[in-house]
Amino acid sequence: MDGVPDFASGAPSGRRSSGLALWADRWLPAIVLSPSVAVSFIFVYVFVLTTAYLSFTPSTLMPNYRFVGLGRYRELFANPTWWDALNNLAWFSLPFIAGCTGLGLLLAILMDQRIRAEGFIRSIYLYPFALSQVVAATVWQWLFSPGYGIEKIAQDFGWTAFHFDWMGNPDRAIFCLDIAAVWQFTGFVTALFLAGLRGIDDEIIRAAQVDGASMPLIYRRIILPTIRPVFFSVLLILTQIANKTFDLIVVMTAGGPGTSTVVPSLFMYTYAFERGRMGIGAASSVMMLMLIITLLVPLLYFGSRATRNAG
């Protein structure tokens, strides 16, 4: 009859269920993600803004929210240890990034040849990355210590005149950190490059070989340009790791000898929490943030361009 719902057809129930499904599709993801977004907003962005504000205050051991302008930044830039920290960061970052990238690419190319026991070898080069930086730093501190590790092993083999004292040399201590960091993160970089190499269609390589191209030429002209987005990802990740490295340095050298291995992260911790000068520590952390933004924004831009061109 007209005007009487057709209960047998289930039309009203169907409309309600479809409306509920549309509502769930629209709002359920937001409801599920909102706690994570709120926590991230508070513990990342709110804390970053709080730290930035503290850099304009006379905070010492405890926060002092009285605004005093750029005084903490003037003190920071007048501190010679801060400039030593930036210089040390450059000496640490460049060899670290170059070493991890070069060795990681070389190992990935060798692994891409489908060698025997590939799974076992992959677990070996990924093992250092599974270790914490504290454990890795402790091992390398022992290896580099005079009278122990490398020096002791060499002398036991008969080279009694061999001495290895880089850890106590202000000009070479930073390279001890580089060696330890490269050892730990090269496996991770290798895995990234290997994933990029395995994503290349084998037919492209076979076609180039049919045309008479050698493997070195194929890698130089075809394969490496194809994985250019992977290069930018590697540089992006390694730049962040180099900028925030802390545990490795604290355990191996504690910033010494002198200030030869102090980096901005260690400078910030020392002034903010050990010397009770929170304002300068906050100012140094803000400068670290500006530094990483200055370095990463161009990498993100060129990386996105490389990804679009590769696609």
The pLDDT confidence band at residue 310, using thresholds 50, 70 and 90, is low
Within a domain: 66: no
pLDDT of 5 strictly over 60: no
CA-wise closest residue to 310 among 194, 158, 196, 178? 196
Find the helix packing angle between 80-111 and 118-130, rounded to 10°.
170
pLDDT of 1 strictly over 50: no
Within a domain: 227: yes
Within a domain: 163: yes
What is residue 236's three-state secondary structure?
helix
* Total domains, the chain: 2
| Residue 99 structural domain | 72-310
The pLDDT confidence band at residue 14, using thresholds 50, 70 and 90, is low
Q: Using CA atoms, how far apart are residues 63 and 151, in angstroms rounded to an integer?
A: 48
Within a domain: 80: yes
Q: Which two tokens stand for residue 53?
A: 């504000």
Within a domain: 64: no
pLDDT in tens, 23-55: 767 777 778 888 888 888 888 889 999 999 999
Does residue 175 contact residue 242 with C-beta atoms inside 8 Å? no
pLDDT of 122 strictly over 70: yes
Beta strands in 11-125 (DSSP E): none
pLDDT in tens, 148-167: 888 888 888 888 888 888 88
Say whether both 82 and 29 belong to one domain.
Answer: no
Q: Give the model's pLDDT for residue 306.
A: 64
Say whether both 89 and 121 belong to one domain.
Answer: yes
Q: Using CA atoms, how far apart are residues 48 and 61, in angstroms rounded to an integer?
A: 19
Say whether both 45 and 77 belong to one domain.
Answer: no
Does residue 240 contact residue 296 with C-beta atoms inside 8 Å? yes
Say whether both 217 and 167 belong to one domain.
Answer: yes
**pTM for this predicted structure:** 0.83
The pLDDT confidence band at residue 72, using thresholds 50, 70 and 90, is very high
Average pLDDT taken over every residue of the chain: 86
Say whether both 107 and 227 belong to one domain.
Answer: yes
Look-up: residue for tokens 């580099």?
144
Say whether both 85 and 43 belong to one domain.
Answer: no
Which residues lie below 8 Å from residue 250, measured CB to CB, with a gap of 6+? 137, 266
